[in-house]
């Protein structure tokens, strides 16, 4: 198996550079939108308006937040370990953006006479790439919490480590069913395999497990124990401020987009539309973004609904419910796949 999937065409070298720049630009553009959408929606869920003072309807609020954070004094606690303290947010940010590159926004398109795949890269190892970067991203949290030299940060980092390890197992196993049904690891080919029926229907259990572990993997409510405000001030990023804090914040929202993108690709048919609607190729990215935003809406909806889990509940749920369920799902899928082939 090669590192890159066999796509049957070659992209010129400059296309790769342009694509990575465009992907970075898209991530930078979308995160403020998600941020504002979250605060606005959360407001509506609580009988409020949400931010509506800066600019028309509060649309300039994320800009104001970013300017505020970027112009703050770079602050470092005297107990912090300087090198790692600076490096940790960069790890978080880099891994989140790298994982964003794998989400396919469409099929191969013909742009200015060149065959261009509407994704960052289509790697042969597919989702393993995402899990690899997810595993490295956890160093960002861990190192950040430890290098801050603060007990709250350290506790938050410990919780993050335990939580990410526990739920990554269930998350990986929940995707095994999809991979077996599709018979490939390449994300574009998984999407194409869903042209008959989206995998959310035959792999509904896997979908549920994936969604739950996605909440845990992105440290979102109700699994936001690593940054439980009431207990840990802010968890691993307690001692961070200014641009470093903005990096963590940015990485968290890119991670939300990444898991939403993976869920859309794996279970909701990527750029495919139901009922045999087949729009021209340039619509595909918009379909994917619409589905991702539906997922983000669900993230906010859950955050507005569910209270934070207790720590023992989190652990027992991950190991005693999700992991056996995911294993059983993979087993049943394997039997069905073998029996029907």
Partner 1 sequence: MSTDVTRWIPADDTLVVQRAPQPGGAGGAYRAFGETLRGLKTTMARVFEGPKTISYPEEKVPVYPRFRGRHRLHRFEDTGLEKCVGCSLCAAACPADCIRVVAAENTPEHRVSAGERYAAVYEINLARCIFCGYCEVACPFDAITMGHDYEMSDYNRSDLIFTKEMLLEEPLERTPLRSEGE
**Position 310 contacts partner 1 (CB under 8 A):** no
Contact 121, 69 (CB under 8 A): no
Site residues (CB under 8 A) for partner 1, limited to 147-206: none
Cβ closer to partner 1: 17 or 321? 321
Cβ closer to partner 1: 20 or 52? 52
Query: Which is nearest to 220 in space by CA: 154, 105, 321, 297?
Result: 297
Annotate 19-52 with DSSP letters as a single string.
HHHHHHHHHHHHHHHHHHHHHHHHHHHTTS--S-
**Alpha carbons 329 and 322: distance in angstroms, whole number:** 10
Figure out which of the listed residues 135, 321, 328, 332 binds partner 1, where binding follows CB under 8 A.
321
Smallest gap from Cβ 217 to partner 1, in A, equals: 19
Residues 6+ apart with CB under 8 A from 113: none
**Position 301 contacts partner 1 (CB under 8 A):** yes
Q: Count residues contacting partner 1 (CB under 8 A)?
A: 15
Cβ closer to partner 1: 44 or 151? 44
**Which window, 175-183, 256-264, 299-307, 332-340, contacts partner 1 (CB under 8 A)?**
299-307
Site residues (CB under 8 A) for partner 1, limited to 31-90: 41, 43-49, 52
| Number of helical (H) and strand (E) elements in the chain, helices listed first | 12, 2
User: DSSP character for 321?
Assistant: I
Site residues (CB under 8 A) for partner 1, limited to 230-249: none
Q: Any idea which residue has 């926004």 for tokens?
A: 105
Query: Which is nearest to 191 in space by CA: 322, 326, 285?
Result: 285
Cβ closer to partner 1: 223 or 249? 223
Site residues (CB under 8 A) for partner 1, limited to 207-226: none
**Which residues in this chain contact partner 1 in the complex, by CB under 8 A?**
41, 43-49, 52, 301-302, 304-306, 321
């Amino acid at each position: 198996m090669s590192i890159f999937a066999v796509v049957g065409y070659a992209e010129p070298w400059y296309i790769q550079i342009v694509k990575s720049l465009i992907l970075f630009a898209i991530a930078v553009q979308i995160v403020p939108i998600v941020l504002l959408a979250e605060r606005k929606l959360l407001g509506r869920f609580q009988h409020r308006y949400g931010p509506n003072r800066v600019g028309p309807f509060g649309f300039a609020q994320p800009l104001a937040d970013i300017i505020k954070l970027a112009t703050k004094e770079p602050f470092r606690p005297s107990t912090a370990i300087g090198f790692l303290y600076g490096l940790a947010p960069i790890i978080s940010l880099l891994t989140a953006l790298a994982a964003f590159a794998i989400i396919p926004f469409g099929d191969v398109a013909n742009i200015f006479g060149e065959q261009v795949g509407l994704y960052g890269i289509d790697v042969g190892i597919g989702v393993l790439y995402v899990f690899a970067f997810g595993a490295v991203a956890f160093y960002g949290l861990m190192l950040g919490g430890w290098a801050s030299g603060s007990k709250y940060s350290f506790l938050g980092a410990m919780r993050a480590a335990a939580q990410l390890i526990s739920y990554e197992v269930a998350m990986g196993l929940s995707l095994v069913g999809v991979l077996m049904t599709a018979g490939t690891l390449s994300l574009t080919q998984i999407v194409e395999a869903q042209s008959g029926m989206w995998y959310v229907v035959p792999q509904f259990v896997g979908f549920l497990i994936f969604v739950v572990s996605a909440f845990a993997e992105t440290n979102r409510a109700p699994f936001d124990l690593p940054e439980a405000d009431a207990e840990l001030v802010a968890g691993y990023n307690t001692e961070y401020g200014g641009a470093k804090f903005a990096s963590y914040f940015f990485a968290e929202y890119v991670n939300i987009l990444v898991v939403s993108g993976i869920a859309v690709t794996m279970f909701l048919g990527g750029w495919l539309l139901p009922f045999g609607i087949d729009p021209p190729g340039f619509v595909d990215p918009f379909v994917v973004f619409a589905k991702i935003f539906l997922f983000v809406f669900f993230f906010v909806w859950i955050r507005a609904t569910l209270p934070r889990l207790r720590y023992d509940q989190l652990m027992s749920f991950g190991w005693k419910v999700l992991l056996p369920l995911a294993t059983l799902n993979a087993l049943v899928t394997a039997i069905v796949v073998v029996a029907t082939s």
